[in-house]
Amino acid sequence: MFNRVARRAFSSTAASNYKVAVLGAAGGIGQPLSLLMKLNNKVTDLALYDLRGAPGVAADVSHVPTNSTVKGYGPEEEGLKQALSGADVVIIPAGVPRKPGMSRDDLFNTNASIVRDLASAAGDYCPKAALCIISNPVNSTVPIVAETLAKKGAYDPKKLFGVTTLDILRASRFISEVANTNPTQEKVSVVGGHSGVTIVPLISQTTHKGLPKDKLDALINRIQFGGDEVVKAKNGAGSATLSMAQAGARFAGSVLNGLAGEADVVENSYVENPVFAKEGVKFFSTPITLGPEGVKEYHAIGETSDLEDQLIATAKETLKKNIEKGVNFVEQTSK
């Protein structure tokens, strides 16, 4: 088996060589996300783990002729340990998705322990890896991972990321539909968390700050509740998977670009943010620069309108409760 040095020495095409593990790789998000990570030329070792089905996904994805080996693992024969050992980046979309009528918080009871146990394994087998958390409710699962790792002395706040990139993608797309512009040119910072009122798009920072109030309100509401559109349309068959895979691959790609020392890699992410932590909201999504050690710089959210100030205040109140719920869960369930 290639060790890290050998992997780097044998690669001639990629700028850098990394092991990426996807936990929940056979799911609705996991499969297309695994394919997209296979297409990332910084990835030389792709480890796909799931309770079931990962070896099949790995065999399938492995035929794509890019510069990585792909292996699938199940829980038997220390599969999780093997998948995680040596990983530089771990992406976690494991857990159940919403059905119509459910909130993301309704997923807490099932997903909290799944995420806690996977985080615990990551703390044991790849304590230096960057962790990208997709499993909902992100507002609570990220604090669960932080607390779980902290108990093992393996928590690095600069390497734990809640993936909120889907809100960024939606904001670009939805604003372009309102303004009749090219979505690829629309950049909207979305701050706060990842559920309903905690999702705060900063439209005042775009060139569309002059939108009439009714259109602005409708746009903000659509970005905040975009996930519900997909849940409703899928009618019981789950939530966003394909757009989420694209969002997850973009975010993980940026984490890899940061690890590789590329300049000016900026994404929004739900991380432990020292500025907001002082106000009692330990985790908050803002733009961050990614670097070789994870978060390199926390950016201020910038100028905001009165309306956005109100939305941020509301988001903070909900986030405090979501964070506390995650922290309490680890307190109450850790052995």
Ligand X SMILES: NC(=O)c1ccc[n+]([C@@H]2O[C@H](COP(=O)([O-])OP(=O)(O)OC[C@H]3O[C@@H](n4cnc5c(N)ncnc54)[C@H](O)[C@@H]3O)[C@@H](O)[C@H]2O)c1
CB of 319 to ligand X, least distance (A): 15
- Quote the CA–CA distance of 185 and 166 in Å, as a whole number: 16
Q: Does 238 bind ligand X (CB under 6 A)?
A: yes
- Quote the CA–CA distance of 115 and 46 in Å, as a whole number: 20
CB of 247 to ligand LMR, least distance (A): 9
Q: Does 194 bind ligand X (CB under 6 A)?
A: yes
Pair of tokens at residue 17 = 């060589």
Q: Which does 27 bind (CB under 5 to 8 A by kind): ligand LMR, ligand X, none?
A: ligand X
Question: Which residue from 32, 227, 248, 294 is in contact with ligand LMR, where contact means CB under 6 A?
Answer: 227
CB nearer to ligand LMR: give 126 or 163: 163
Q: Does 267 bind ligand X (CB under 6 A)?
A: no
Q: Does 273 bind ligand X (CB under 6 A)?
A: no
Name the catalytic one among 63, 194, 208, 299.
194
**Cα 298 to Cα 117, 273, 291, distances in angstroms:** 29, 7, 11
* Binding pattern for the stretch 19-48 against ligand X, x by CB under 6 A and - elsewhere: ----xx-xxxxx------------------
194 classed as catalytic: yes
Amino acid sitting at position 204: S
- Quote the CA–CA distance of 30 and 329 in Å, as a whole number: 26
Amino acid sitting at position 135: S
| H-only helix segments in 181-305 | 213-224, 226-234, 242-259, 274-277
Question: Which residue from 16, 35, 51, 328 is in contact with ligand X, where contact means CB under 6 A?
Answer: 51
Q: Cβ–Cβ contacts within 10 Å for residue 210, how many?
A: 8
Give the CA diameter of the chain.
60
Amino acid sitting at position 45: D
Amino acid sitting at position 262: E
CB under 8 Å to 317, separation ≥6 — which residues? Answer: none
Residues lying near ligand X in the complex (CB under 6 A) are found at: 23-24, 26-30, 49-52, 93-98, 107, 111, 114, 118, 134-136, 138, 163, 166, 194, 238-241, 244
Residues lying near ligand LMR in the complex (CB under 6 A) are found at: 97-98, 104, 136, 166, 227, 230-231, 239-240
Residue numbers in the known binding site for NAD(+) are 24-30, 50, 111, 134-136, 244
Catalytic residue set? 194
Residue numbers in the known binding site are 24-30, 50, 98, 104, 111, 134-136, 170, 244
